[in-house]
């Protein structure tokens, strides 16, 4: 997939939206420790997104938007991410665990300069809000 | 599963929430035809819920709330329902098709007199709203 597309392109993809449950609380409790752990988790997440042919379109703070060529690839990537993160959390006190919620939606997106736009992105973000910490919410036909 | 439980019981189940996309519009266009088709679709749906060990807890108009002992059973039931309904819609004009949206969430419910209560039911209903017509939205760890 091209990383930069100057023209507006419409395509059907699996949109992946992730954020950290209770991120503000975690940052309020221990900013340095949270950012250090978040960096480790993001490294695992980014590797596993790429491994399943995904592309990260936007990321800011604790949130990541990515696109995958198929819902199967997106779900497999999300399961692998939650498994690795779950193992990493196993040794931590509950209130220090970094648990991502992941939403996946299959829909049309508009792509410009590598960024994703459109209703499909909003649906993925709302699904993510309904996912359990450490869980995945998926909408597909 | 007991159909009647006079005492308040908490249990972990897969909650299934379904409604018909554009139900008000369909009823406005053709009330009799819509109700006739809805009755047929509900017969298929109810059979397939029972076939996968599900129990219908509430139903009103176009909406159904059911519980399943596992997320796998709930998802298999939902896929079978959407497949059968998709085949039934194939011969109909777009604006006469009856397409259910289905949301499935694994969570705690409170059961009283066979009715389901609790946050998990609300999450399933919100997932259902995010599902595509003819589609399924699932949230699970």
Q: Interface pTM (ipTM) of the complex?
A: 0.77
Tokens of B100: 């259910």
Mutation pick from A85, A101, A137 vs chain B, by most beta carbons of B within 10 Å, is A137
In this complex, do A139 and B140 lie within 8 Å of one another by their Cβ atoms?
A: no
- Distance, in Å, from the CA atom of A21 to the CA atom of B63, rounded to the nearest integer, reads 31
In this complex, do A139 and B134 lie within 8 Å of one another by their Cβ atoms?
A: no
In this complex, do A123 and B130 lie within 8 Å of one another by their Cβ atoms?
A: yes
Chain A touched by B104 (CB under 8 Å): no
Of B113, B104, B106, B94, the residue nearest B25 (C-alpha): B94
Cα B1 → chain centroid: 18
pLDDT in tens, chain B (141 residues): 444 556 888 989 999 999 999 999 999 999 999 999 999 999 999 999 999 999 999 998 899 999 999 999 999 999 999 999 999 999 899 889 999 999 999 998 999 888 899 999 999 999 999 999 999 999 987
pTM above 0.80, yes or no: yes
- The beta-strand segments (E) located in A76-122 are 100-112, 115-117
């Amino acid at each position: 997939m091209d990383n930069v597309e100057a023209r507006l392109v419409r395509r059907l993809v699996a949109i992946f939206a992730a954020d950290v449950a209770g991120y503000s609380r975690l940052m309020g409790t221990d900013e340095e420790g949270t950012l250090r752990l978040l960096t480790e988790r993001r490294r695992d997440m980014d590797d596993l997104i790429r491994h399943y042919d995904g592309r990260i379109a936007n990321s800011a703070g604790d949130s990541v938007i990515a696109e995958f060529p198929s819902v199967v690839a997106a779900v497999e990537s999300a399961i692998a991410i939650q498994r690795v993160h779950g193992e990493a959390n196993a040794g931590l006190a509950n209130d220090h665990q970094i648990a991502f919620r992941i939403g996946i939606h299959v829909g049309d997106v508009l792509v410009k300069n590598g960024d994703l736009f459109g209703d499909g992105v909003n649906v993925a973000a709302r699904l993510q809000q309904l996912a359990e910490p450490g869980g995945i919410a998926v909408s597909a036909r």
